[in-house]
Structure 1
Amino acid sequence: MPGAETAEAAEVRGFWERLGLPGLVDVHTHFMPERVLHKVWAYFDGLGPLTGGLEWPITYRAEEGERAALLREFGVRAFTAMLYPHKPGMARWLNGWAAGFAGRTPDCLHTATLFPEEDAPDYVRQALDEGARVFKAHVQVGAYDPADGLLDPVWGLLAEAGVPVVIHCGSGPAPGKHTGPEPIGRVLARHPRLRLVVAHLGMPEYEDFLALAERYPEVRLDTTMAFTDFSEGYAPFPRRALTRLADLGDRVLLGSDFPNIPYPYVHQLHALERLGLGDAWLRAVCHDNAARLFRI
């Protein structure tokens, strides 16, 4: 491992050791078929519309095994393989790959995905039967309405199973046709027991998504990229909402977006720490909430 990564690993481990934790649980990390991931990186490199035209250098551009090993060096006890389709006919294939990845990577929570299509209930049920522990939905990239009738039975299946769904439904870094709180609010009105984990704290509509979490006890939020210098530059979190975030401390989960981040992993941890919400809040967010949700 290069010296810089060795030093960063020591810094990350020092963070959670100081808090008295056994490690970290990161609910928002990306592993997917290599050719798909390379296309994602090429998109970031090309400053496509979904990145809002922001300069977005990939900090951890390494092969799969090296990336997983680095998370272990950081002391991440459990992580995810957030993967997502951008068109019909892709989700079932991605789920097959993710099942294989989980089989050879025991510290990765078996992840699956979905898309509004006729066979979605069949492959979602199959993924659940095969042991999927978390799903990923990406409303921005998929450009679909989460309240699409084709997904209604899927949300019902997932609500009944109690399996969390990490969903990018906020309008950051660039809005989509179906992003924002209103479309996913319609889903929750129909499926109030659905365990949604709103990615990026719903950036930039933070307060709207805090309101959804306050209304629906099974809604959670992940911290992915929130409060970092990068995100504060274009979508600052309103300081008036920090009290609400503190009050939801049992339903906020650590997420990082590793490896697709334009800064070191440890910066996300420092960004949370400098909020000044206290060590108990940090322990819950960085480990205990997700450990309880996923029974780790």
Structure 2
Amino acid sequence: MSSPQQAAAPEGDETREVRGFWGALGLPGLVDVHTHFMPERVLRKVWEYFDANGPLVGTRGWPITYRHGEDERTALLRQFGVRAFTSMLYPHKAGMARWLNGWAAEFAARTPDCLHTATFFPEDGVAGYVREALDAGARVFKAHVQVGGYDPADRQLNAVWGMLAEAGTPVVIHCGSGPAPGRHTGPEPIARVLARHPQLALIVAHLGMPEYREFLDLADRYRRVHLDTTMAFTDFTEEFAPFPPELLPRLAAHGDRVLLGTDFPNIPYPYLHQLRCLERLDLGADWLRAVCHDNAARLFELPA
């Protein structure tokens, strides 16, 4: 099997193949719930982190495939036919989240196909600025337990989770222990949050990698728990966190709550590779249509 780097193709060719992928499924395009747009100086720091192998151990590289300017990255998603995407951004310390939310609101205002994204951190005033973001039209939030290094069940976040559950606003949360564990990653901390707020609309990033089974268990227990496909099943990820084949029937059974996510632009392979890896699971055209478009279109009430 060729490496992701070897699989790279000129972006014009990739655009045709991506559009051919969703066109063959009879879809109007894709909805990608896990794409990253953030202030340029913050994104440069993220890229520097990945250039230094990021969360990976050893000499394996993590090249950024789409190291382009903001306008070019936005245009490329549109060329691919991604009709809605997100600006996943997140603080690594106190005092960042409100500023990031201001930037994200401005980005959404000038980028109508971006779902207005916001974030938070356990700190004084968090409930206030989350309410401000909701009132300003935020449609999805991002929480990154690994990078933030916080317990999602922290008492300072209890009012936030309750507010988001009541509003029905989805939260994409990186709470699994892959690709590297954090102090509060894994299923147990977020399970405590869900026990308090069972109506919370969570989208577990990376299918909960590598605790795939445990996060499927949470999806069994809580009807509003979703999973996103970000980096799952790719050749890159299968080398260090393979998805157990025996869990595929359970993933198929949750086909109405699995959403396409990619981590664009911070991926070490072409965008098309994620789509082809979902296709080769052989879970059927109906499952692919739901995952790549229909589930997210329904969750975010996108126009037909």
Instruction: Calculate the TM-score normalised by the size of structure 2.
Output: 0.95
2:220 corresponds in structure 1 to 214
For 1:1-296, list aligned pairs within 5 A: 4-48=10-54, 50-53=55-58, 54-296=60-302
Unaligned runs of 5+ in 1: none
Q: Distance in 2 between matches of 1:281 and 1:206?
A: 18
Instruction: State the alpha-carbon separation in 2 of the partners of residues 277 and 39 from structure 1.
Output: 38
- How far 1:51 moved relative to its partner? 3.4
Count how many residue pairs are aligned between Structure 1 and Structure 2: 293
**CA RMSD in angstroms, aligned pairs only:** 0.8
Q: What is the CA-CA distance between 1:47 and the residue it aligns to?
A: 1.8
CA distance in 1, matches of 2:57, 2:277: 22
C-alpha separation between the residues in 1 aligned to 2:93 and 2:84? 29
Q: 5+ residue gaps in structure 2?
A: 1-8
Superposed CA deviations along residues 238-272 of structure 1, whole A, max 9, x for unmatched, are: 00000000000000000000000000000000000
Deviating more after overlay: 120-129 vs 50-59: 50-59
Q: Conserved in 2, the CA contact under 8 Å of 1:24 and 1:287?
A: yes
CA distance in 1, matches of 2:222, 2:22: 30
Q: Is this contact kept in 2: 1:52–1:173, CA < 8 A?
A: no
Distance 2:91 2:183 in 1: 17
- 1:52 CA drift (Å): 3.8
Query: By how many angstroms is 1:55 displaced?
Result: 1.4
Asked if 2 retains the 8 angstrom alpha-carbon contact of 1:194 and 1:218, the reply is yes
Distance 1:135 1:12 in 2: 27
Q: Secondary structure at the match of 1:106?
A: coil
Query: How much has 1:118 moved relative to structure 2?
Result: 1.4
Percent identity, aligned pairs only, is 76
